[in-house]
Amino acid sequence: MDTLTVLITGASSGIGEACAEVFARNGHKLILWARRIDRLNSFVQRASSATGQRDNILVQSVDVRDRANVQQAINSWLKQGNAEHIDVLINNAGLSRGLAPFHEGSYEDWDEMIDTNIKGLINVSREIIPMMVTGGGGTVVNIASIAGRQAYRGGNVYSTTKAAVKMLSDSLQIDLNGTGVRVCNVDPGLVETEFSEVRFRGDKERAANVYKGYTPLSAMDVADVVYFVATRPRHVAIQDVLITPTDQASVNIVNKH
C-alpha cells in the first residue's frame, strides 16, 4: 500500500487519537490538529517510541471553529515544502453539551456545538477538498453520530448538528462524483471516550454511568472501521457506516445487565 498523508481533526483524544494511532502503526504520514497541543505532543512521543518514525507526524494547534486559524495551519504546512495534497481527511472534531430540553437550553452550549460540529467541519473541508480534487482523488471521513439519525430526549441541537454532518456527507458524495474523491459518513453509537465527560462539563461520575451495565464501543473500534474505509481500492467507496455496541439497538435502547 502507498503511504498516505492523513489529516485528523480533534486528534488529542478519543476517536481522533485512536485514528492517529492506527494510521501511524501502519506507517502513514499524519497531520494532527487539536487545541490541546500538549496532548498531541504526548502522542508523538508515544508513537515515535512504538514506530521509530517521528518525522512522519506533524502536530498543529488548531481551533477548527476559527477559519483564519485553519487557513494559517494549512499555509504553514505548505510552506514546509509539502506537496499540495492530502490523501485522507478525517473530520473528527466535535462535542456535545448538556441534555436540557430545548425550551431550557443554553445559547452558549448551542453555539459551541454548532460552531464546532458544523462550521468547523465546513471550514476544514472547504480548504482541503480542493487539494484532493486537483490531485485526482482522496477520502473524506466525517465522524457524525447515531444521534444524527434518531432524535432522543435532550439531544435536540446536538442531534441537529450531527444530522447536518450526515446531510453534508450525502451532498459531498454528489458534488464530488467524478472527481475521484470519496466521502464516507461514520455514525458511531455509544463509544466510551471523553465525550460524556465533556457533555457534563467534567462530572466524571455522571459520565461513567453512561457506560455502565454493558460493553460500549472503544475509540479503537471506530478507528479500525475508519482505517478500513480509507484504505479500500480506489474504485471502492463506502458511503455510510453505522457502528454500535452489540447491546445498543437504537440511540436510546440499550440492553444493560
Average of pLDDT values for 141-146?
98
Is residue 74 a contact partner of residue 124, using CB atoms and an 8 Å limit? no
CA 55, CA 104: separation in Å to the nearest integer? Answer: 49
Cα torsion 53, 35, 38, 186: sign: negative
Q: Amino acid letter at 93?
A: A
Q: Which residues are catalytic?
A: 158
pLDDT at 157 > cutoff 90: yes
3-state secondary structure of 124: helix
Packing angle of the helix pair 67-79, 121-135 (nearest 10 deg): 40
CATH number, position 206: 3.40.50.720
User: If you write DSSP's letter for every residue of 23-90 in order, what string do you get?
Assistant: HHHTT-EEEEEES-HHHHHHHHHHHHHHHS-GGGEEEEE--TT-HHHHHHHHHHHHHTT--S--SEEE
**Residue-number span of the structural domain to which 192 is assigned:** 5-254
| pLDDT (0 to 100) of residue 194 | 72
pLDDT in tens, 67-98: 999 999 999 988 876 666 899 999 999 999 98
CA 79, CA 125: separation in Å to the nearest integer? Answer: 20
pLDDT in tens, 169-201: 999 999 999 999 999 999 999 999 876 666 767
3-state helix, strand, coil in the chain (%, to 5): 45, 20, 35
| Count of structural domains, the chain | 1
The set of residues, in sequence order, having a beta carbon less than 8 Å from that of 178 and lying 6+ positions away, is none
Question: Exposed, middle or buried by CB within 10 Å (0-12, 13-18, 19+), for 175?
Answer: middle
